[in-house]
Amino acid sequence: MIVIVGLIVAFILIVIFSNRGTRQCRWREDRSGDCDGMKKFRCAACGAQAFTKTGRPPTICQRDM
- Nearest distance from residue 61's CB to Zn ion, in Å? 4
**Of positions 45, 55, 56, 59, contacts Zn ion by CB under 5 A:** 45
Q: Indicate whether 14 belongs to the interface with Zn ion (CB under 5 A).
A: no
Q: Indicate whether 50 belongs to the interface with Zn ion (CB under 5 A).
A: no
**Of positions 34, 46, 55, 56, contacts Zn ion by CB under 5 A:** 46
3-state secondary structure 1-65: CHHHHHHHHHHHHHHHHHHHHHHCCCEEECHHHCECCEEEEEECCCCCEEEECCCCCCCCCCCCC
